Amino acid sequence: MAIKIQRLPSVLRDTGFSRGTLLRRVAAGEFPKPISLGSGRAIGWIESEVQEWLAEQVKASRDESN
C-alpha cells in the first residue's frame, strides 16, 4: 500500500480549518501531527490519518445528535 501525503493547502481544504486553527490543534494533540518531508521546512500529513480523523469527527457529531 502506498502512503499518500497531503500538503497544507489540501488539509486546510479538507478540514475547513484556517492555518492557525490547524496548527493549534496539532500542538494540542487534537489533530494528527505532520511529518517532515526532508530537509528544510516542508511538511505534510499522511492522508489516511487525516481521513480517519475526519471520519471520527463525523461519527462523534452523529453520536452527539442522538
Q: Who's near 58: CB < 8 A, 6+ residues apart?
A: none
Give the C-alpha separation, 33 to 36, whole Å: 10
pLDDT per residue as tens digits for the range 34-50: 999 987 889 999 999 99
Would you tell me the crossing angle of helices 47-64 and 8-15 to the nearest 10 degrees? 10
Cell of 45: 500529513
Q: Which residue has the higher pLDDT, 39 or 57?
A: 57
Average model confidence (pLDDT) for the chain? Answer: 94
pTM of the model: 0.88
